[in-house]
Amino acid sequence: MRFSSLLLLPLATALPAKPSIPELTVNQWNSIQSGFTDNLRSLSSWSWNKAEDVIDELEAIAGVNSESNNDNSDLTIWQALKADPHSFSKLVKIIEFEGKAIDYLDDKDLQITFFAPNNDALTPPEHRHHHHDGDHDSLAELLHNPSLQTLSNALEAEPSLLAEDEDHKHHGHHGDDDDPEKKKRRKEIFRKIAGKVLQYHGLTKAYTAQELAQNSTIATALKAEDGSFGGLHRRIRIDKHFVPPSLKINFYAKVYAADNKARNGYFHSIDHPLIPPGSLIDELFLFPDVFSTLTSSVQKVHGREYLDWHYDREHSKPGKPQFHGKPLVTLFAPTNIAFATIPPKLKFYLFSPFGEHALTKLLAYHYIPNTLLLSELLYTQKEKRSEVDSFADDLGEYTYFTYSLADDPSFHKELEIAPALPNSTLKIEIDKTKFLPVEGAIKTTIKVNGQEVKVIDVPARNGASHVIDHLLIPPHHHHDHHGKDVAHLDTWSNWEEWFPTWAAQ
């Protein structure tokens, strides 16, 4: 999302269009979902006595054994962060500057979780020359990349952000070239963005690393207030890898010191600050080596708006921001590999002027509007149709995929969901399996139409995506010369026998 005008910036919904996250290679994307299980295939040859030793070792190395954790149980999370300036002085400075986050980080009556990037995580990888010749550069960088690292750099580069109120209190005036109202508004923008990003680092319940590892995604304290995501709390993605042992948030932020116990919950130290996700289309554009064919397909059929959610600067007014796009979407996103595996002649047809209608219908089969499908929940948004409905924050329907035994989160769920393609359904199977007798040793898989998703539960500003390495074959009718329907036998290899007819219907 781009912020071109400060006067029209919707402060309460300041979120990024292009998250600044490390680049992932194609191989890394392919290994994200299954990486921690690929190296455990030899488990079947172990004796259980040896397995128990290995499990203990993995727990210790991964930092999830409670005996090895730091215990600040007499201190709140806020007090514990302040007590460790060597690790968290930069984060503490941001929190003090923002002001409001202290209320919940220091609340002794709450039980919460906080992901705390350390000083190294908030230090840029290489030296940058700070700009002192005006206000625009730091703020423009922050709007483009609303990260705690960017905030930390801005506070160090411009001490006036921290000292402004104090100077005004004691001196009663600003420099000759200063505009007090401009500085006040600018500082408020910094604070609003800091508040939203800090909320994205917090969870409203207390979770140990083992408890986090049992989830694929989990809701943060940051609630969507821009009309997207069904007004739900924005989510983070959690990956547990046992070989090598690690816990990662949103694919890139590694938990390096877990389960720091505090009086009001836990805080986990991370090596990279978290950034609220961009829209689905912006996330796809971040990885051209993986999704360039898909993004080209979307652009060819003029379908960007179906995957986007962006701020409309032209039609917005102060206090009345306007947005365009689709506020809630689930996408099964085929990779470049998926398009490369179809017959070359079919690919030529899809991208030719003759196949544009077929491409539009095919993409619609991969796209579920007004729906958030994750491995833990299904949420369907309902349209507000009356004045009575307008008083309701949420008219959606929830289905949470739960389990019966507290010590075993395993479950199997089968769903049929209607995508954007009329008169069609997607068959979804979700499996959560405990594959080792240790908490957190969980594998979650999603299948769509019988084929396994390669990367599940990628959160976005306006929904979620699930990465697939094949194109879904849409439902159709195809009869042999005896009149028998053989559509269930069709593949992309015999597409000429049925696909053009289906596209023309």
CATH number at residue 108: 2.30.180.10
Residue 14: the pLDDT is: 38
Tell me, yes or no, whether 307 and 431 share the same domain: yes
Query: Phi and psi for 122 in degrees, rounded to 5?
Result: -100, 10
Sequence-distant (≥ 6) Cβ neighbours of residue 256 within 8 angstroms: 63, 269, 270, 271
Domain count, the chain: 2
Q: Is residue 385 part of a domain?
A: yes
- Determine the pLDDT at residue 136: 46
Question: Both 411 and 468 in a single domain?
Answer: yes
Mode of pairing for the β-strands spanning 309-311 and 265-270: unpaired
Is residue 235 assigned to a domain? yes
Pairing of strands 323-325, 329-334: unpaired
Query: 116 forms bridges with which residues in the sheet?
Result: 269
The answer to whether residue 349 sits within a structural domain is: yes
Domain boundary pick from 251, 270, 289: 270
432: domain range? 280-504
Give the Å distances, CA to CA, from 424 to 88, 346, 353, 362, 383: 52, 22, 25, 11, 21
Same domain, 176 and 316: no
Q: Is 218 inside any structural domain?
A: yes
Nearest to 298 by CA among 229, 251, 232, 364: 364
**End-of-domain residue from the set 218, 239, 270:** 270
Whether residues 97 and 152 share a domain: the answer is yes
Q: Do β-strands 253-262 and 265-270 pair in parallel, antiparallel, or remain unpaired? A: antiparallel
pLDDT score recorded for residue 47 = 33
Res 66: pLDDT: 39
Q: CB within 8 A of 284, min separation 6: which ones?
A: 291, 294, 295, 298, 307, 333, 465
One domain, residues 86 and 177? yes
- Is 126 within 8 Å of 191 (Cβ atoms)? no
pLDDT (0 to 100) of residue 137 = 65
Q: What is the pTM of this model?
A: 0.81
Query: Taking the C-alpha atoms of 484, 485, 487 and 488 in order, what is their torsion angle to the nearest 10 degrees?
Result: -90
User: How many Å apart are CA 300 and CA 357, to the nearest integer?
Assistant: 11
Is 355 inside a domain boundary?
yes
Which pLDDT score is estimated for 71? Answer: 65
Say what the pLDDT of residue 46 is: 32
- Confidence at residue 407, expressed as pLDDT on a 0 to 100 scale: 63
Residues 213 and 286 in one domain: no
pLDDT means per 10 residues, the chain with 505 residues, are: 32 39 47 38 33 44 45 88 96 96 96 97 69 56 81 84 56 52 85 94 95 92 94 94 82 94 97 94 94 97 95 86 94 97 96 95 97 95 60 68 65 95 96 74 91 96 97 89 77 92 92
Query: Is 431 a member of any domain?
Result: yes
Compute the distance between CA of residue 429 and CA of residue 464 in angstroms, rounded to an integer: 17
13-52 as b/e: b if 16+ CB within 10 A: bbbbbbbbbeebeeeebbbbbebbbeebeeeeeeeeeeee
Same domain for 59 and 112, yes or no, is: yes
Burial class (CB in 10 A: 0-12, 13-18, 19+), 211: middle
* Judgement on whether residues 311 and 250 belong to the same structural domain of the protein: no
β strands within 295-404, DSSP E? 309-311, 323-325, 329-334, 367-369, 371-373, 377-380, 397-400
The answer to whether residue 30 sits within a structural domain is: no
Q: What is the number of other CB atoms lying within 10 angstroms of the CB of residue 227?
A: 16
Return phi, psi of residue 457, to 5°.
Answer: 55, 55
Q: Which pLDDT score is estimated for 443?
A: 87
Tokens of 203: 């969870």
Let me know the angle formed at the C-alpha of 14 by 25 and 275, rounded to the nearest 5 degrees: 30
Task: Tell me: do 301 and 249 sit in the same domain.
Answer: no
In a domain, 4, yes or no: no
Residues 298 and 414 in one domain: yes
Same domain, 285 and 266: no
- Three-state DSSP at 336 gives helix
**Domain limit, last residue, from 250, 270, 290:** 270
20's CB contacts (< 8 A; 6+ apart) are 145, 147, 275
* Element holding 262 (H helix, E strand): strand 253-262
**469 and 358 fall within a common domain:** yes
